[in-house]
């Protein structure tokens, strides 16, 4: 009995809340979500080569297994560290330092938009692909 | 799992005003409101980069929303969800143009997921508000 009452109440509230949602809405929203989530799965999961770009030009490219630490001077200063098969922004003096908060990554991409630098990890096979 | 810390990731409450304007006043007013919104964020931060981001994001999303609204097949929830996706797309186009590389499209899927979810919530709120506004106007 209580169960029935709760269910009816829930249905009434939902109908009231989402009275105007149309079939097209549901199709649109689920299509956008499915495409985005599918695209997430297509993003590379592993990589063995680090590439660093500054203002669209490649400034560093080497194996991920090679430990390295260097600075990039631009509008701001970034320190990039590559250590134990992971790479990341170790320090940045840009306003939010979002790039540092990404942490050390072993796949994918990190970027410092204010300084115009991008760090990405790709697999050997992709290296030859022209970026620009 | 991948780590994401994105500067552009915000719920976008100001989009409520644009959607309400679109429903209550029409497409032209929605464009005006989104322009005001973009310049307001420029005056609040004083950064020209923010102005470019805001202009591209809000103009692209308002155009997408107007087109969907004109089809008369979508409720504010769907309209606003699509707007969320297009504002993310606008931001990515701007950052690619500013940085000179298309690499930033890497972030499009995650931005779109958040754009759809937050956009749908904002559309729901916008619909509730526009109902109240329309009722007030009738009285």
Residue A30 has pLDDT above 90, yes or no: yes
Shortest CA distance to B87 belongs to which of B34, B139, B40, B22? B34
Residue A19 has pLDDT above 90, yes or no: no
Average per-residue pLDDT in chain B?
86
Selected residue of B96, B100, B109 to mutate for chain A interface (largest A Cβ count, 10 A):
B109
Q: How high is the pLDDT of residue A97? A: 80
Give me the sheet containing A86-92, strands edge to edge. Answer: A68-73, A77-83, A86-92
Q: Which of B98, B100, B113 comes nearest A36 by C-beta? A: B113
Contacts of A36 in chain B (CB under 8 A): 108-110, 112-113, 116
Is the Cβ pair A111, B104 closer than 8 Å? yes
pLDDT digits (tens, 9 = 90+) for B24-43: 998 899 999 999 998 988 88
Is the Cβ pair A111, B113 closer than 8 Å? no
Asked if A74 and A116 touch (Cβ cutoff 8 Å), the reply is yes
Per the rule left: phi > 0, alpha: psi between -120 and 50, beta: everything else, A67 is beta
Query: With bands split at pLDDT 50, 70 and 90, how would you rate the model's confidence at B7?
Result: low
- In whole angstroms, give the CA distance from residue A114 to residue A49: 24
Q: Which long-range contacts (CB under 8 A, 24 or more apart) does A103-109 make?
A: A103/B3, A105/B2, A105/B3, A106/A46, A106/A47, A106/A64, A107/A44, A107/A45, A107/A46, A107/A47, A107/B2, A108/A43, A108/A44, A108/A47, A108/B2, A108/B106, A109/B103, A109/B106, A109/B107
Q: Which of A29, A35, A39 comes nearest B81 by C-beta? A: A29
Shortest CA distance to A43 belongs to which of B18, B124, B113, B80? B113
Longest dimension (CA), chain A: 70
Shortest CA distance to B91 belongs to which of B29, B35, B41, B49? B49
- The interface pTM score, or ipTM, of the predicted complex is 0.84
Is the Cβ pair A22, B74 closer than 8 Å? yes
Q: How high is the pLDDT of residue A94? A: 84
Residues of chain B contacting A, Cβ within 8 Å: 2-7, 68, 73-78, 81-82, 85, 95, 98-104, 106-110, 112-113, 116, 120, 124, 127
Contacts of A107 in chain B (CB under 8 A): 2
The residue-averaged pLDDT of A3-7 equals 78
Chain A residue with minimum CA distance to B112: A36
Q: Which pTM value belongs to this model?
A: 0.77
Average per-residue pLDDT in chain A?
82
């Amino acid at each position: 009995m209580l169960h029935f009452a709760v269910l009816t109440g829930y249905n009434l509230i939902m109908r009231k809340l989402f009275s105007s949602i149309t079939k097209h809405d549901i199709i649109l929203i689920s299509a956008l979500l499915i495409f985005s989530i599918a695209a997430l799965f297509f993003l590379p999961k592993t990589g063995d080569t680090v590439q660093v770009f500054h203002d669209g030009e490649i400034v560093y490219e080497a194996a991920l297994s090679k430990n390295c630490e260097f600075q990039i001077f631009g509008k701001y200063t970034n320190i990039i560290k590559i250590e134990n098969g992971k790479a990341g922004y170790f320090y940045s003096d840009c306003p939010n330092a979002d790039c540092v908060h990404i942490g050390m990554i072993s796949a994918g991409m990190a970027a410092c938009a204010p300084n115009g630098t991008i760090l990405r990890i790709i697999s050997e096979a992709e290296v030859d692909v022209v970026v620009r | 799992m991948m780590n994401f810390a994105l500067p552009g990731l915000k719920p976008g409450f100001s989009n409520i005003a644009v959607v309400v304007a679109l429903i209550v006043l029409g497409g032209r007013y929605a464009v005006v409101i989104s322009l005001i919104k973009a310049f307001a964020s420029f005056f609040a931060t004083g950064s020209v980069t923010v102005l470019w981001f805001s202009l591209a994001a809000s103009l692209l999303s308002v155009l997408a929303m107007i087109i969907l609204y004109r089809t008369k097949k979508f409720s504010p929830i769907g309209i606003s969800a699509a707007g969320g996706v297009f504002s993310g797309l606008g931001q990515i186009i701007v950052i690619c143009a500013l940085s000179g590389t298309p690499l930033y499209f890497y972030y499009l899927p995650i931005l779109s997921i958040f754009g759809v979810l937050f956009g749908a919530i904002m559309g729901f709120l916008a619909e509730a508000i526009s109902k109240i506004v329309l009722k007030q106007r009738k009285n």
